[in-house]
Structure 1
Amino acid sequence: MESMEAELKSLTQVWITVLVCLTYCYLISRNIPKGIFRLISVLPIIPIFIILPLSLTSIHLLGIIGFFIAWLANFKLLLFSFNQGPLSSPSISFVHFISIACFPINFRQNISPKTEKSISQNPGSSSLPSFFIYAVKGLVIVLLIYVYKFRQYLHPNFIIFLYCVHIYFLLELILIVTAKSVQFLLGLELEPQFNNPFVSTSLQDFWGKRWNLVVTGILRPTIYQPVQFICASIFGKRWAQLIALLATFVVSGLMHELIFYYFGRVRPTGEVFSFFVLHGVCLAVEIELKRCFKNRFQLPPLVSGPLTVVFVLVTGAWLFFPQYLRCGADVKSLGEYAIVAESVKGLIQKWWGSFS
């Protein structure tokens, strides 16, 4: 109980620091024009946001704060320095500025009918069906937590597969709950976070249109587009696109290494970084093959879909999850679930006792 109280105190201090820093950023936008001087004014905030998660110990809080603040908020502030990105609207209010900076959300921009149709097919786009879908995913997570008790009887690769499902469902639930809460409180129309990644038909489809669209939306203007612009005049448009693609995956790999460092405070091994570099290279090869064959020799979706999912799972088991296990994130997260379960059980018993 004391450790929980200490963690909540640290979490409160973290959010107070974040709010003070973002208030400072909002105020300088009214006095310092976009460009190098605003960037210099924002730069001191970057290391503060990177250090903040180190004051926490909970795996779940570390993951959330590391992802929301150390990664997304920092990248949004870099775009904000040059009056780009979701924080750049001249009419943005203070509350909207803080909310968009803190949380993995973005306003839904003008989109084509084709994109709107794709979004409408996402379970998160219709409230009633999505409630049941996310409720089922929550129940699956609860079931998985129970299944983990019998890990010694299960094959290690099957356990890693269960971790894949667990992390995907948990990440999706965290993002959708955050987005829906902000949408309810502020009345914003927000872009979706996922678009059924398990039905991807290619790596390009998986990474570009379906998996964690919040990250895709922030990496594109901060890494991909600037690198492509710089390299276009040196290497030509075609090579510039590939270099920008690889640079984007390199940065994503580095940021994931940072998140994993938060989890266990252990020295990075480079496996997580290698996972993203490998996928960047494979995606570049895929794009070039499509260009060479001009989409004349495409595999049917019934073949390319499973191949894509299997490739992601196999490379994840090979490079992504060893570091996850090495830093003890699985054991720590299960311990936190046990603490929460005991707390809920105690509250129920107390509530039930008051009526008996």
Structure 2
Amino acid sequence: MATGDLRSLVAVAAAVSVAMWYVRLASRRLRPGLPRLVAFLPVLAVLPVLPLAFRAVHPRAISGFFLAWLAEFKLLLLAAGQGPLDPSLPLPAFVAIAIFPVRQRDPTTKNATGSGLAPVTSAVMAALLAAIVSLYRHKERMNPYALLVLYSLHVYLALELVLAFAAAVVRAVMGMDLEPQFDQPYLSAHLRDFWGRRWNLSVPAVLRPCVSRPVRALAGGGAAGAAAGVLAAFLVSGVMHELMFYYITLHPPTGEATAFFALHGACAVAEGWWAAHKGWPRPPRPVATALSLALVMATGFWLFFPPITRPGADKMVIAESEAVVAFVRDAGGWAAATVRSALTGRS
């Protein structure tokens, strides 16, 4: 399976490179608007299919996020003459910016490093994730809600590490800056803070210009337009999560992810309406944070995780995670033994 997915990785990388070369060429020759969008349609249709080339869950889901979400929305922005992509960019930089949460380095900023995780923070998160994976061997004896708490922490830590690692590699190879990814979501004061300013920030970075702002403009602006833009962004996020869940489970969408994000969109609009009344009471910051996280987790237990756990996809994720942890442990042991052997030989 690993060999097959390595071959798939090479094939997918080649297909993406060719697709982005075509998009870059088309955007150079066609003006923004309908002509560009029509020219992009073959690529927009192919990108969501490419992750299905992988057999394992992790590469299928990760490539699905990069190709079917980030790249798709960035290409839609390019078709409108907006967004971070510029057809004058060299092809490697064009591909990297289209797929990953990175941006061109600002030459006026010296020693820019972006917002990636510090090495110590990454090591701590990796250790915590490995500890969580090791606990799964006892999952049959766990309280179901305790297991879902572990799943929640697993999702957070895995997303943090995967996005930071991918962006850091691109930065090291191509000298680009990292886009913001996560900003301590466990400190969120409310849902708008959680989803809009702290959780997986590469998503709102593309949803705002692609969905929120156009819908707000169509609705005429003002409070009603802002609410419509927020609701539309959450609904689109829900639909995209249905696609991400399909990559994980290979089962048809259930609508639960869409319901989860529609509910959170409605709650975010209600929060904004309440916040607009300055004299109305507000809970203290620690209480507001606890309530916000409790709402995210409770609704996640109800609507977010069942489409994954019901078909047993969580078992495949756990098995793959255990294999990765074992590989890293064995590789670390081999490296330590090699270093000890070299030091002993010198002495």
TM value normalised by structure 2: 0.90
> What is the aligned partner in structure 1 of residue 144 from structure 2?
156
Deviates more, 1:261-270 or 1:215-224: 261-270
Could you tell me how far apart the structure 2 residues matched to 1:320 and 1:273 are? 9
Who is 2:31 aligned against? 33
- Separation in 1, partners of 2:322, 2:116: 33
**What are the residue-to-residue correspondences of 1:67-78 with 2, within 5 Å?**
67-78=65-76
C-alpha root-mean-square deviation of aligned residues, in Å? 2.4
Q: 1:163-197: per-residue Cα shift (whole Å, max 9, x none)? A: 10111011001111112222222222333201110
2:251 partner amino acid: V
Per the TM alignment, residue 50 of structure 1 is displaced from its structure 2 partner at its CA by 1.1
Query: Using a 3 Å threshold, how does the CA distance of structure 1 residues 349 and 193 change in structure 2: closer, same or farther?
Result: closer
Match of 2:110 in 1: none
Query: Could you tell me which residue of structure 2 aligns to residue 298 of structure 1?
Result: 282
Matching residue's letter, 1:95: P
Quote the Cα distance in structure 1 between the aligned partners of 2:200 and 2:176.
19
How far 1:341 sits from its partner (Å)?
4.7
Give the direction of change, closer, same or farther, for the CA distance of 1:161–1:343 in structure 2 (3 Å limit).
closer
- 1:80 positional shift: 0.4
Match of 1:276 in 2: 261
Quote the Cα distance in structure 2 between the aligned partners of 1:313 and 1:81: 37
1:102 aligns with 2:99: yes
The alpha-carbon distance between structure 1 residues 345 and 239, as it changes in their structure 2 partners (threshold 3 A), is closer
Amino acid at match of 2:312: G
Give the aligned partner of residue 7 of structure 1: 5
Q: Residues of 2 paired with 1:155 and 1:347: CA distance?
A: 33
Contact conserved, 1:223 with 1:247, CA < 8 A, in 2?
A: yes
Aligned to 1:115: none
1:150 aligned partner, one-letter code: H
- Report what 1:196 is aligned to: 184
Q: Which amino acid in 2 is paired with 1:9?
A: R
- What's 2:345 paired with? none
1:43 aligns to what SS in structure 2?
helix
TM normalised by structure 1 equals: 0.88
Tell whether 2:214 aligns with 1:222.
no
**Is the 1:107–1:191 Cα contact (8 Å) retained in structure 2?**
no
Residue 254 of structure 2 is aligned to residue 256 of structure 1: no
CA contact (8 A) 1:265 1:327 kept: no
**Identical-pair percentage:** 38
Distance 1:278 1:102, change over 3 A: same
Task: Tell me how far 1:133 sits from its aligned partner.
Answer: 1.5
Is 309-318 or 181-190 further displaced after alignment? 181-190
Match of 1:288 in 2: 273
Q: After superposition, where does 1:62-141 map in structure 2 within 5 Å? A: 62-87=60-85, 89=86, 91-107=88-104, 125=115, 130-141=118-129
SS at 2:296 equivalent:
helix
Does residue 22 (structure 1) correspond to residue 12 (structure 2)? The answer is no
> SS at 1:84's partner residue?
coil
Q: Which residue is equivalent to 1:116?
A: none
**Conserved? CA contact 1:35–1:81, under 8 Å:** yes
Q: Could you say which residue in structure 1 is the equivalent of 2:222?
A: 237
Secondary structure at 1:132's aligned position in 2? helix
2-structure distance, mates of 1:198, 1:32:
45
CA displacement at 1:53 relative to structure 2: 1.4
Conserved in 2, the CA contact under 8 Å of 1:105 and 1:214?
no
Q: Deviations over 1:62-95 (max 9, x none)?
A: 11111000111011000001110010x4643322
Where structure 1 has 5 or more consecutive residues not aligned to the other structure, the ranges are 111-119
Q: Which residue of 2 aligns with 1:336?
A: 320
Q: Is the Cα–Cα contact under 8 Å of residues 260 and 327 in structure 1 kept in the other structure? A: no
Deviation of 1:337 (Å)? 2.7
Residues matched between the structures, number: 335
CA pair 277-106 structure 1, distance change in 2 beyond 3 A:
farther
User: Would the aligned equivalents of 1:246 and 1:280 in 2 still touch at CA under 8 Å?
Assistant: yes
2:54 aligns with 56
| Distance (Å, rounded) in 2 between the aligned partners of 1:60 and 1:257 | 16
Cα pair 1:104 1:175 within 8 Å, conserved: yes
Which secondary structure state, in structure 2, belongs to the residue aligned with residue 192 of structure 1?
coil
Residues 51 and 60 of structure 2 are in contact (CA less than 8 Å); yes or no, is this contact kept in structure 1? yes
Tell me the CA shift for residue 205 of structure 1: 0.9
Q: 1:242 to 1:57 in 2, by over 3 A?
A: same
